[in-house]
Structure 1
Amino acid sequence: MKPYCPGNPLERYSSRREFLYVGLLGGLGLSLPGFLSQRASAAQKFYETVEGPAKGIIHIFLPGGMAHQESFDPKPYAPAEYRGPFGAIDTSIPGVQFGEKLQHLAKIADKTTIIRSMWHGEAAHERGTHNMFTGYRPSPALEYPSIGSVISHELGPRNNLPPYVCVPNVPNEYANSGYLSSAYGPFALGSDPVRGDFQVRDLNLPKGVDDERFARRRSLLETVDHHFRNLEKSDSLDSMDAFYQHAYKLISSQKAREAFNLKAEPDELKDRYGRTEAGQRMLLARRLIEGGVRFVSLTAGGWDHHDNIKGGIEQQLPPVDQAIAALINDLDERGMLDSTLVMVTSEFGRTPKINPTGGRDHWPRVFSVMLAGGGVKRGHVMGSSDALGGEVDTDGVTVADLATTVYQQIGITADKELMAPGNRPIEIVAGGNVIESILA
């Protein structure tokens, strides 16, 4: 267990000073809601250089509970009421089949690892989602940070870009910073990349403010900072100065802003991903990782198919299948796959038996996760469910195991202790084991 390494806690500022700072910041066009307004402590934190095979992570979350039987763990020999409405197709891994609607991913399964033996005990959406985003079961006593926020806290920014970005918005309350400072929360785009007028809010100077005027106002703000520092020798003023420096870097750096410029991608590549929400979100995710973002979280579709799972899968799975396969191929072609961990998860699976309304209900006792790149084996299947897809049969994997493995791959020791409120040391992940068998 490694000792806690403290960072600067988020400071509270007096109402007079805070009001003045916010007013000046607004005049500069630097609002960056939900991200930069509380970045002071993150900007000052000292970040150790760590090495892991993954330099970045793309977390593709399928909200609602993706049916493992219709995707990565079909049961073609089960009775019809368990097998479901679809058949199975061969993949590029000999002897391994996927659900028939995963046409694209089946062809590149030899670039992935499939875990067919994930499980936990939470059948409610909120609790299952909390598990998958934090590595912990929910607790009434403590709000745990998301994996993205822990990575932001431990590794910090790179290339003037936010370390943790959500595409297009923060998907749920469990994707936030928990007991950590909100300085380590995600930067949300505020607009969906599939929109024809897609533009990330707050990254461009407002109308009427050119670079020269921007620099003059920055100088004015520094004068005010100096005045307050002479009046009050306060650490919080130094923190605010660090915050502004980070804001200036993001807005003034053409290279940083360019990472969000989806228009720079060729039309042929956009078509490969698909001109869909899933396709354009994943294309932007690749671009952000390429630019230096450490953790990108995105959602695709809705998978709570209590009724008519046939229609839901037929409508939603093909564009997601196309997009994920295009992302993995694109990363591989660019030489980025070995250093980028792609993770496809959902909060739980679905019941083994089709219900009376043609759907499947919540089922956390076994489900599937897909991983690719980032030091994970290619063409590997980990664990299995039983013949009806209702229980773990071999090599069960817990949420803590998965989170511990993800952290290791990006260079973070999962049993390191962080400090929660009340000076309470909390392990980043408690009780998890690295899944050695899936690592290359």
Structure 2
Amino acid sequence: MRCYGNPLSRRGFLAAGAFGGLGLSLPELLMRQAMAEQKQYDFVEAKAKSVIHIYLPGGMAQQESFDPKPYSPLEYRGELRPIKTNTGEQFCETVPQLAKRADKFSIIRSMTHGEAAHERGTHNMFTGYKPSPALQYPSFGAVVSHEYGPRNNLPPYVCIPNVPNEFAGTGYLPSSFGGFALGSDPARADFKVRDLDLAGGVDEQRFVRRRAALDVVNQRFVGATSADNVNAMNTFYQRAYDLIDTPKAKEAFDIEKEDAKTRDRYGRNDAGQRLLMARRLVESGVRLVTLTYGGWDMHTNITQGFRNTMPTLDVGLAALIDDLSERGMLDETLVMVSSEFGRTPKINPDAGRDHWPKVFSVMLAGGGIKGGVIHGASDSTAAEPENNPVSPADLAATMYRLMGIVSDKELMAPGDRPIEIVDGGKLIEPLMA
């Protein structure tokens, strides 16, 4: 088991000051804290071996998805109808396939933060932190990459099809923990992951000679500098070599290996094929996959926007949950569906909804999450949490704990500043199996 936690945290030193007046010395305090940390964290077991983070950019409306308000006035509830799930709850009619599988996942209906701008909301939902002008925080994928590293010669953190935004990067961590981007969409007929094959005209022997020559040059260059981007490039090269040299690892990126029926079940579209690729990658050893789908910033005609955008996601997500379950992978794979914020309670004059961070919904499945639970609630018009509000820090802390990472562990930012992976997040225990 891994041991986590840091008795030398900011909280530790604050406590030292408090206990000093009671006659407890700093060494005694640290020893007691270390013993408590050991008891608390020695047996933190990872329930989730991998995470699939499905991010819906733009701000998905809670009312038109997982939190309909059928008893509110029309200008609040919108035009779409609610439907019953297989657990007796109500979802919007836009997710009929997921409604049939509601016993397999849980919904947080009380997600909340205070950032109504896309960039700031995105920062919250990729890092668990409020944006700061003083420090760029690392994304979930970068932290997982830092804590665990590669498995089966595959990149620990992969983005489909590309790194989705500036907040999905490494923040204050070294660049070597960044995400590996496919560079192409799995739904394309000519899909091919960049940099996995040798250049034309370069056979294996020629490649080995070139690599040896490059190693000689790099050793001399790296010895003369400690720049992060230089060290990161060496790490990227080494991981690329490992990937190219491992046929089984390369095969994980070959979606053509899936049979036609499986590809059809997910859907031959952006949502379906990205989700299928994510399953292939975590099955092969990738620790965290981030994928994006759609544009959910529906300021106008939200009814038609959902009718155009949600069906392929509904089918693809349902297929992913079924597929993970059938393969015995759901219990060890955490699926998280999030967005930067929700939408306004009242329909605007353009028949759309505007930005609304006060309350929105997040979906969680597998990886130590109970099925069939609705956690928290919004009020009668989906304007704010009615009970059990959940912050981005709470969500991040829970995700990390399920992966065996305790969120108050401190990482080093520039200037040898210890920064907690997440500052103050509480575990969402009612959702944890």
Alignment TM-score > 0.5, same fold: yes
Q: Within 5 A, what are the aligned runs for 1:165-314?
A: 165-222=158-215, 228=220, 244-314=237-307
Where does residue 352 of structure 2 map in the other structure?
359
1:84 lines up with 2:78 in the alignment? yes
- Tell me the residue number matched to 2:401: 408
Closer/same/farther in 2, CA of residues 188 and 233 from structure 1, 3 Å limit: closer
- How much has 1:215 moved relative to structure 2? 2.4
Counterparts of residues 30-179 of structure 1 (less than 5 Å): 51-94=45-88, 96-179=89-172
Matched residue SS, 1:152: helix
Contact map agreement 2:174 2:232 (CA 8 A) in 1: no
Instruction: For residue 357 of structure 1, report the CA deviation from its aligned partner.
Output: 0.8
Q: Is the contact between residue 3 and residue 417 of structure 1 (CA under 8 Å) also seen in structure 2?
A: no
Q: 1:433 corresponds to which residue? A: 426
Partner SS for 2:412: strand
The answer to whether 1:368 aligns with 2:368 is no
1:252, CA displacement in angstroms? 1.5
Q: 1:217 deviation in Å?
A: 2.7
Instruction: State how far apart, in whole Å, the 2-side matches of 1:300 and 1:425 are.
Output: 35
Unaligned 5+ segments in structure 2 are: 10-41
- 3-state SS of 2:61 partner: coil
Q: CA, structure 1 residues 49+224, in 2 after alignment: closer, same or farther (shift >3 Å)?
A: farther
**Residue pair 1:250, 1:256 contacting (<8 A) in 2 also:** yes
Q: TM-score, normalised by structure 2?
A: 0.87
- 1:219 Cα deviation after fit: 3.7
Mapped partners of 1:204, 1:80: distance in 2 = 56
Closer, same or farther in 2 for the Cα pair 1:219/1:142, shift >3 Å? closer
- The Cα offsets for residues 188-225 of structure 1, whole Å up to 9 and x where unpaired, read as 11101110000000110111112222223334445556
Find the aligned partners of 2:184 and 2:43 in 1 and give their Cα distance: 33
Aligned to 1:43: none
* 1:343 aligned residue (336, 343, 354): 336
Report if the CA contact (8 A) 1:163-1:295 is conserved.
yes
1: CA distance, partners of 2:185 / 2:216:
38
Q: Aligned AA for 1:82?
A: Y
Q: Where do 5+ consecutive residues of structure 1 fail to align?
A: 6-47
SS of 2:206's partner is helix
Q: Deviations along 1:362-388, whole A, 9 cap, x unmatched?
A: 111110000000000011110101111
Q: CA deviation at 1:244?
A: 4.4
**Aligned partners of 1:224 and 1:120: how far apart in 2?**
49
Question: What is the aligned residue count?
Answer: 395
* Alignment partners' CA distance in 2, 1:351 and 1:162: 39
Of stretches 184-193 and 205-214 in structure 1, the one that deviates more from structure 2 is: 205-214
**Which residue does 1:38 correspond to in 2?**
none
- Change over 3 Å in CA distance of 1:259–1:418 after alignment to 2: same
Q: Following the alignment from structure 2 to structure 1, what is the Cα–Cα distance between the partners of residues 283 and 325?
A: 12
Deviation, 1:243, is 5.7
Percent identical residues:
62
SS in 2 for 1:326: helix
Is residue 333 of structure 1 aligned with residue 337 of structure 2?
no
* Cα separation, 2, equivalents of 1:133 and 1:327: 22
- SS of the aligned residue for 1:429 comes to coil
Which one-letter code corresponds to 1:255 in the other structure? K
SS at match of 2:64: coil
Alpha-carbon deviation of 1:239? Answer: 8.8
User: Could you list the per-position Cα deviations for residues 387-411 of structure 1 after superposition, in whole angstroms to 9, with x for gaps in the alignment?
Assistant: 1111101111111000000000111
Paired with 2:100 and 2:295, the residues of 1 have a C-alpha distance of 24
Paired with 2:300 and 2:265, the residues of 1 have a C-alpha distance of 31
What is the root-mean-square deviation in Å for CA atoms of aligned residues? 2.3
Q: CA deviation at 1:78?
A: 1.0
Secondary structure of 2:53's aligned partner = strand
Deviation larger for 243-252 or 405-414: 243-252
**CA pair 243-349 structure 1, distance change in 2 beyond 3 A:** closer
SS in 2 for 1:113: strand
> d(CA) in 2 for partners of 1:359 and 1:85?
11
Cα distance in structure 2, aligned partners of 1:57 and 1:155: 13
**Distance apart, 1:71 and its partner CA:** 0.3
* Distance change (3 Å), C-alpha of 1:196 and 1:49: farther
The one-letter amino acid paired with 1:374 is: G
